[in-house]
């Protein structure tokens, strides 16, 4: 197959599978270019905050960027710049094991998004990407939780 053909084929299959069955509240769709064509290499997603957590009622935008080596390589996953989370860099890039050393080609878009949702309320302080967030998480949990709830309110449902 031509460069990127394998990646596009896999992403087309994932898109079909997602349309048939995806977790409630999640959104994942390839971006539409100005000319109306679909770019399978960039997906605009929304991850809902889990019920019963400080993230509840937030619908967090996330961009998945795939390269021609997908699924051999993981997608880049990015929240908006300045997203408040222990495992998200200031640039918005998500730091999660399944996107790094733990990546396997069998991991699907659905598994990536569900894994990131899990990470929201269950951060890994041993792999902190944001110092000020980590400090609050370790030393001032009430303030950390307050900031999370404020962020959830900044990303209400668009439905």
- Tell me which of 45, 77, 95, 133 is the catalytic residue: 95
CA distance 90 to 84: 8
CA distance 99 to 9: 20
- Contact 105/7 with Cβ under 8 angstroms? no
95 a catalytic residue: yes
DSSP string computed for 100-148? TTT--TT--HHHHHHHHHHHHHS--GGG-S-HHHHHHHHH-HHHHHHHH
17: part of which helix (H) or strand (E)?
helix 5-20
Active site residues: 95
């Amino acid at each position: 197959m031509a460069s990127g053909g394998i990646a596009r084929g896999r992403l087309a299959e994932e898109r079909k599978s997602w349309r048939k069955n995806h977790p409630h509240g999640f959104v994942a769709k390839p971006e539409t270019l100005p000319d109306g064509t679909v770019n399978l290499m960039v997906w605009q997603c929304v991850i809902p905050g889990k019920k019963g957590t400080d993230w509840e009622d937030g619908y967090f935008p996330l961009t998945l960027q795939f390269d021609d080596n997908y699924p051999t390589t993981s997608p880049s996953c990015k929240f908006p710049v300045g997203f408040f989370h222990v495992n998200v860099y200031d640039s918005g890039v998500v730091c999660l094991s399944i996107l790094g050393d733990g990546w396997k080609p069998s991991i699907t878009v659905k598994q990536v998004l569900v894994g990131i949702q899990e990470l929201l309320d269950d951060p890994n302080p041993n792999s902190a990407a944001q110092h000020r967030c980590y400090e609050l998480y370790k030393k001032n949990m009430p303030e950390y939780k307050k900031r999370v709830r404020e962020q959830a309110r900044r990303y209400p449902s668009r439905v």
